[in-house]
């Protein structure tokens, strides 16, 4: 299966059945659809040309390769999305897990942690 066939199989959920089909003066096909289907086309979940329905927002129809004209194809992704994807590809090493007792007793040797005797922490009555 080539890449285009794979896109069609994974993205296309079916096809809209038009209410009528006409021809515009310039020779383009006009597909008359219902309000729900029209909304689906406007929101990018269906193609207005071949009437393929998609399971996700799609800029270029994998069936007829029609591009949406209302959305620029080269919209740059926000930098935090790019950073997140890079981080997922190259995850930073995680610190080793320690048991709670190791964490408590390890504090005793840490010079940045002030050591306070328990007697000072108790309330005086």
Percent above pLDDT 90 for the chain: 14
Residues 51-84: tens digit of each pLDDT: 999 998 888 899 998 888 776 556 677 888 888 8
- Total Cβ atoms within 10 A of residue 99: 8
Average pLDDT, whole number, for the chain?
Answer: 82
Is the pLDDT at 123 greater than 90? The verdict is no
Give the integer Cα–Cα distance in Å for 87 and 39. 36
Residue 92 CA: distances (Å) to CA of 54, 84, 85, 86, 97? 36, 12, 13, 10, 15
Is the pLDDT at 122 greater than 70? The verdict is yes
Residues 28-60: tens digit of each pLDDT: 888 889 999 999 998 889 998 899 999 988 888
Residues present in the chain in total: 125
Give the integer Cα–Cα distance in Å for 102 and 21. 74
pTM score of the predicted model = 0.52
For 77-91, the three-class secondary structure string (H helix, E strand, C coil) is CCHHHHHHHHHHHCC
What 8-state DSSP symbol labels residue 44?
Answer: T
């Amino acid at each position: 299966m080539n890449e285009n066939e794979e896109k069609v199989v994974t993205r296309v959920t079916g096809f809209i059945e038009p209410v009528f089909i006409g021809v515009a003066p310039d020779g383009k096909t006009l597909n008359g659809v219902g309000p729900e289907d029209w909304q689906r086309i406007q929101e990018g979940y269906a193609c207005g040309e071949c009437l393929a329905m998609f399971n996700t927002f799609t800029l270029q129809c994998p069936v007829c390769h029609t591009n949406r004209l209302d959305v620029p194809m080269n919209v740059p992704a926000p930098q935090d999305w790019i950073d997140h994807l890079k981080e997922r590809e190259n995850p930073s090493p995680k610190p080793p897990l320690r048991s709670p007792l190791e964490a408590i007793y390890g504090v005793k040797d840490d010079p940045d942690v002030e050591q306070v005797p328990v007697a000072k922490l108790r309330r005086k009555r």
